């Protein structure tokens, strides 16, 4: 018997938009492997690119903070959304994020060893939180960006409190232009990033494994077309170029007008300001991104991380 449940069929349909029977058949053929089933459905033209769903098992908060010309995003997980709404937990995430702004790396273990504003270390405060709030928590990841001259603009989509929410974005703009020019531009780009979910800054920075996966899907689609091999090769390259264009931030079409590439938006802003503006880097943290587990499994993972 294939290793999947009706919940897996439902999840696959939500991710791909495929019909019930198509989703079930794909899972049977993939022996319950949802990612393989997604690829199979896409190769057969029965699904679009995998949706970047915000429906994840993890709870908690993402925090963002900017200090001078650098900024940091931090994700702190909890077992339930109830704890994420707790004032004590929110204060912890805020202070940990502010502490992370002074870190010299993106290493969570380094952050845990840093001094916590109220005394002790971040790790000790985390342990205290687990004991007093009564629910396991975990500092999952952090990422910093900086510029030598310019601004780092923070943005929190649907913030639950100042600089706290479920989708946090940082945009690093290198330029001699004033903050009156860079900050509004950075906020517009940050809002685009929150909505468009770019996978990398530019095409060359896309994950090679991700490109290879798309190439295999495109090749299977092309083979099923029955067209000559040289035509199939062009179809595959065309599909890869389209994927790269749609998933690299600088080539994505600006969500505000859906026609101007982000690179052109930045270039125009620089031209209007009379000085060069470079979109140097960005961060997009979505709560629970990459965690697709049952809540009970995630709770066990957090508990193990805290004990370890």
Q: Model confidence over 109-151: pLDDT tens digits?
A: 999 999 999 999 999 999 998 888 888 899 999 999 999 999 9
Asked if 140 and 76 count as a contact pair (C-beta separation under 8 A), the reply is yes
How is residue 209 written in tokens?
Answer: 């494994």
Between these two residues, 17 and 273, which has the higher pLDDT value?
273
Q: Model-level pTM?
A: 0.77
Provide mean pLDDT across the span 79-101.
93
Whether residue 306 is predicted with pLDDT greater than 80 in this model: the reply is no
The residue written with tokens 């603009």 in the block is 153
Q: Where are the domain boundaries for CATH 1.10.8.10 in the chain?
A: 1-51
| pLDDT averaged over every residue in the chain | 87
Asked if 260 and 24 count as a contact pair (C-beta separation under 8 A), the reply is no
Which CATH number is 1-51's, of 3.10.28.10, 1.10.3300.10, 1.10.8.10, 3.40.50.300?
1.10.8.10
Asked if 240 and 214 count as a contact pair (C-beta separation under 8 A), the reply is yes
3-state secondary structure of 248: strand
Mark out the alpha helices in 120-207 (DSSP H runs): 122-133, 179-196
Residues 140-170 have pLDDT tens digits of 999 999 999 999 999 999 899 999 999 999 9
How is residue 135 written in tokens?
Answer: 């629910």
Provide mean pLDDT across the span 29-50.
76
* pLDDT of amino acid 305: 47
Asked if 92 and 84 count as a contact pair (C-beta separation under 8 A), the reply is no
Pairing of strands 70-78, 59-67: antiparallel
Q: Where are the domain boundaries for CATH 3.30.479.20 in the chain?
A: 59-200+280-307
Whether residue 83 is predicted with pLDDT greater than 70 in this model: the reply is yes
Position 2 confidence tier, pLDDT thresholds 50, 70, 90:
low
In angstroms, the CA 298 to CA 180 distance is 43
Architecture of the domain defined by 59-200+280-307: 2-Layer Sandwich (3.30)
The set of long-range contacts for 217-225, using a CB threshold of 8 Å and a minimum separation of 24, is 217/39, 217/42, 217/43, 220/43, 221/42, 221/43, 221/44, 221/45, 224/43, 224/44
**CA triplet 169, 173, 178: central angle to 5 degrees?**
120
Residues 56-67 have pLDDT tens digits of 447 999 999 999
């Amino acid at each position: 018997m294939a290793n999947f449940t009706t919940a897996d069929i439902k999840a696959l349909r939500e991710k791909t938009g495929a019909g019930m029977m198509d989703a079930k058949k794909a899972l049977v053929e993939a022996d319950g492997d949802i990612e393989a089933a997604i690829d199979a459905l896409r190769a057969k033209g029965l699904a679009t690119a995998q949706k970047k769903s915000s429906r994840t098992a993890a709870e908690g908060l993402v925090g963002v903070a900017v200090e001078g010309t650098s900024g940091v995003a931090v994700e702190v997980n909890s077992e339930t959304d109830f704890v994420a709404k707790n004032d004590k937990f929110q204060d912890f995430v805020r202070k940990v994020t502010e502490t992370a702004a002074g870190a010299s790396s993106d290493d969570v273990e380094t952050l845990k060893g840093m001094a916590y504003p109220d005394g002790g270390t971040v790790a000790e405060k985390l342990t205290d939180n687990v004991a007093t709030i009564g629910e396991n928590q975990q500092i999952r990841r952090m990422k910093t960006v900086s510029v030598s001259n310019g601004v780092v603009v923070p943005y929190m989509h649907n913030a639950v409190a100042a600089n706290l929410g479920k989708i946090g974005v940082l945009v690093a703009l290198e330029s001699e232009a004033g903050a009156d020019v860079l900050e509004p531009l950075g906020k517009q780009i940050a809002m685009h990033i929150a909505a468009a979910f770019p996978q990398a800054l530019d095409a060359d920075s896309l994950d090679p494994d991700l490109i290879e996966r798309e190439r295999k899907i495109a090749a299977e689609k092309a083979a099923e077309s029955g067209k000559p091999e040289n035509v199939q090769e062009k179809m595959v390259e065309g599909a890869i170029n389209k994927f790269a264009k749609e998933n690299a931030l600088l080539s994505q079409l600006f969500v505000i007008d859906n026609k101007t590439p982000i690179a052109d938006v930045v270039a125009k802003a620089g031209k209007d300001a009379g000085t060069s503006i470079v979109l140097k880097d960005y961060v997009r943290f979505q709560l629970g991104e990459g965690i697709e587990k049952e809540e009970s499994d995630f709770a066990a993972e957090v508990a193990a991380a805290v004990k370890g």
